Structure 1
Amino acid sequence: MKLVKPFTLGVVAMTALLYACGDGGGDSARKETTSSIPQNEPKKEASFEDQHGDNPDYVQGLALIKDSDCPSCHMAERKIVGPSYAEVASKYENTEENVDLLASRVIKGSVGEWGDVPMPSHPGLSEEDAQQMVKYVLLLRR
């Protein structure tokens, strides 16, 4: 009886193992049909951009805010020095009265609405621009 060399036996074993695991060298064009994303993963909320990106109040207000000093103290969804825009939107309904009230606070400044840190005044900001910025903020209600 002829003995099989250990190296040959190892090669045969590896070939059998690869074939059994699905990589038998046959159909290399076979495609994986399963997704790498778990099916039970909760869906992410749509971004504000997805929800309002075509709304002129959103687009114009965001542009004004980006060109201002607002981002020094505020972010869309996270509190830094002042409240997040989403927190403001949650506290105030999107009404003409609230737009006027908040625009006035942006221009004149305020203190005590969100704690002891005062919001500085912005006297160089026009009422129309302040209202447009507030309209953007109030669209960020979750």
Structure 2
Amino acid sequence: MKTSSWLGGLTVLLGLAAPALAQADQALAQKNACMACHATDKKLVGPAFQDVARKYAAQADAQAYLAKSIKAGGSGKWGPVPMPAQPALSDADTQTLAAWILKDSK
């Protein structure tokens, strides 16, 4: 019984941690001004993160590709307005943002 109680408690804690991590990742996007041009569910200046997630969902290297796009910027993928490069973001932060866009903004 103790093992099942322990596992049940762990499951509850993990269930509570996932939304908190998603909120932390969204806070990272807000802190770095991503939300000035993007929203999770609608196009602003740039595409909705949900649209980005759908476009790259089947791409095996989607997270690495998006992280590179975040860091280097780009143009022509989503219309005429270029996305500015974000060279000040750490590689870890670009990976975190890319993973959040692909998973938690759906």
Could you state the TM-score of these two structures normalised by the residue count of structure 2?
A: 0.74
Higher normalized helix content (fraction of residues): 2
SS in 2 for 1:99: helix
Given that residues 82 and 114 in structure 1 are in contact (C-alpha distance below 8 angstroms), is that contact kept between their aligned partners in structure 2? Answer: yes
Superposition CA RMSD, Å: 2.3
The corresponding residue for 2:91 is 127
- Rg larger for: 1
The corresponding residue for 1:117 is 81
Return closer, same or farther for 1:67/1:109 CA change in 2, 3 Å cut-off: same
Offset from partner CA, 1:53-96 (integer Å, 9 cap, x none): 72575244212112111011000101010001111011112766
The corresponding residue for 1:85 is 49
Could you state the TM-score of these two structures normalised by the residue count of structure 1?
A: 0.57
Task: Structure 1: give runs of 5+ residues left out of the alignment.
Answer: 1-51
The corresponding residue for 1:61 is 25
Q: Which whole-Å CA distance do the structure 1 matches of 2:25 and 2:58 have between them? A: 14
The size of the alignment, in residue pairs, is 90
Q: Which whole-Å CA distance do the structure 2 matches of 1:99 and 1:111 have between them? A: 18
Return closer, same or farther for 1:53/1:88 CA change in 2, 3 Å cut-off: farther
Alignment identity in percent? 32
* Runs of 4+ with deviation above 4 angstroms: none
Q: Which whole-Å CA distance do the structure 1 matches of 2:20 and 2:53 have between them? A: 17
Q: Which whole-Å CA distance do the structure 1 matches of 2:64 and 2:29 have between them? A: 17
Q: Which whole-Å CA distance do the structure 2 matches of 1:114 and 1:95 have between them? A: 17
Given that residues 85 and 137 in structure 1 are in contact (C-alpha distance below 8 angstroms), is that contact kept between their aligned partners in structure 2? Answer: yes
